[in-house]
Amino acid sequence: MRLARLTIAAAVAAWLAPRTAVAVDSPPAPVSDDRIVLSVNGSTLPGTNGGGGGSVGWLHNFDADTLAGVAVEHQGISASQWTFGSLNGSLTRELGGARYSAYGEAHEGAGDDGPRAFKYSVVAAGIIGTYSHRLSVQLEDRQFDVETTHGNLPKLGLSYLVNPHILAAVSYADSVSGNLGTHLTSARIDAYTSKANFLAGAAFGQVSPTVLGLEFVVPGKSLREGYVGVTKPLPNRRGELTLVVDYQDLAGSNRVAVTLNYIFHVGHHGKPT
């Protein structure tokens, strides 16, 4: 759910969502399609100069149901900065009238918080099952190993296609190992129109700052978060532009982040399935 980082993972999720839930109103994916994903972000954080970063990535559809991507990203907040590479992939299959999408991602790199260097590793795997073209169930496990913070964060998510234009989702994540100390509930709604797509969401609970990508300290802080965003297709430029504004109150410390993503369709070949 982190909107200011892991851009290529967000792009994979954006691809999975219409494939698993909104496909009843979407054109089929091309046999082969390449996209360049660019992202920049900036944020405020009290008592610091804030932070920001950017990323560049590449996504490729091998066919209508198989996707892979790579990216490199740099982020910084306060005195901390880190750079990492990303690998992502997903595979969708139909079984017994339902559709199942298995996906995985790995983000590996390093950084420093001033005098100390640290390793940055976030790895996740999950599966999304979609039933009757409307209800989707997501099971995911995400493993964090960042500086002194580590552990596993399983998540259960449900999404429901209210109609061809509105998708509602809720999820709950609860750490089961290490020192993440995270218990997070979130909700999101997406609205699809012919001119633009809109999203809004909220989250609350106890969360490790490492999960948020804020700073590298031991967990145990309460979070309240809200975000809104809009995606505007740019057919004349073969791309899509997304703007997201994210507000977080982490144990009384307020942060505002603005993220701008641009996905450019390099081109596709082969006939639609």
Q: pLDDT tens digits, residue range 123-177? A: 999 999 999 989 999 999 999 998 888 999 999 999 999 999 999 999 999 999 8
Query: pLDDT class for 113, splitting at 50, 70, 90?
Result: confident
> Per-residue pLDDT averaged across 218-231, rounded?
84
> Per-residue pLDDT averaged across 165-191, rounded?
94
The whole-number pLDDT of residue 215 equals: 52
Q: What is the pTM of this model?
A: 0.85
The whole-number pLDDT of residue 25 equals: 40
Query: pLDDT class for 268, splitting at 50, 70, 90?
Result: low
**All domains in the chain, ordered by first residue:** 7-269 (2.40.160.40)
Which of 169, 103, 101, 104 is closest to 134 using CA atoms? 169
Are 66 and 101 contacting, i.e. CB atoms less than 8 angstroms apart?
A: no
Give the SS3 label for residue 16. helix
pLDDT higher at 105 or 13: 105
> Per-residue pLDDT averaged across 213-220, rounded?
53
- Residue 9 confidence (pLDDT) above 50: no
- List the alpha helices (DSSP H) in the chain: 7-20, 209-212
Q: What percent of the chain has pLDDT above 70?
A: 83
Which of 205, 245, 214 is closest to 229 using CA atoms? 245
- Return the DSSP state at 86: E
Query: pLDDT class for 263, splitting at 50, 70, 90?
Result: very high
Average model confidence (pLDDT) across the chain: 84
> Per-residue pLDDT averaged across 205-217, rounded?
72
Around Cβ 87, how many Cβ atoms within 10 Å?
Answer: 16
DSSP letters spanning 189-211: EEEE-SS-EEEEEEEEEEE-HHH
The whole-number pLDDT of residue 143 equals: 96
Give the SS3 label for residue 178. coil
Which of 178, 49, 53, 32 is closest to 107 using CA atoms? 53
- Return the DSSP state at 237: G
